[in-house]
């Protein structure tokens, strides 16, 4: 589960988008969108998930995030007796550029666990 905490009331959004929309900072066909100020997203599938703030200028100013969910891999039964799969990993990758600090937008920061805070 990933929690985004940010100023709600239309000042920011969390849109899950496709890779092409992430790269172009457009949210015309968002997979999901929320502007409540605290968005909880359960990432149930392995792969790469893309998130942006759809308020004009925010994504291009650096308010975007890529999260890669890795699936657990079964261990080799010849090396262990349990044969259990390892737990899934969630790795948030924040995009940080010099333009984001020059734009006045705050950088993404990882708070506790996978709760991400726009400060």
- At residue 73 the predicted structure's pLDDT band, cuts being 50, 70 and 90, is low
Domain boundaries, the chain: 2-118
pTM as predicted: 0.62
Q: Which CATH architecture is the domain 2-118 placed in?
A: Sandwich (2.60)
Across the range 88-96, mean pLDDT stands at 48
Across the range 27-55, mean pLDDT stands at 94
Both tokens of 43, joined, read 């990432």
Of 90 and 3, the structure prediction assigns the larger pLDDT to 3
One DSSP character per residue, 14-50 reads: EEEE-HHHHHHT--TT-SEEE-SSEEEE---SSEEEE
One DSSP character per residue, 72-101 reads: P-BPPTTT-SS-PBPPPEEEEEE---HHHH
């Amino acid at each position: 589960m990933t929690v985004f905490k940010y100023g709600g009331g239309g000042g920011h959004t969390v849109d899950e988008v496709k890779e092409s929309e992430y790269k172009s900072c457009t949210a015309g066909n968002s997979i999901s969108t929320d502007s409540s100020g605290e968005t909880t997203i359960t990432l149930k599938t392995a792969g790469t998930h893309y998130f942006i703030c759809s308020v004009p200028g925010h994504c291009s100013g650096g308010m975007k995030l890529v999260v890669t969910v890795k699936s657990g891999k079964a261990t080799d039964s010849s090396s262990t007796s349990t044969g259990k799969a390892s737990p899934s990993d969630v790795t948030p990758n924040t995009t940080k550029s010099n333009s984001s600090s020059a734009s006045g937008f705050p950088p993404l920061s990882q708070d506790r666990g996978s709760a991400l805070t726009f400060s």
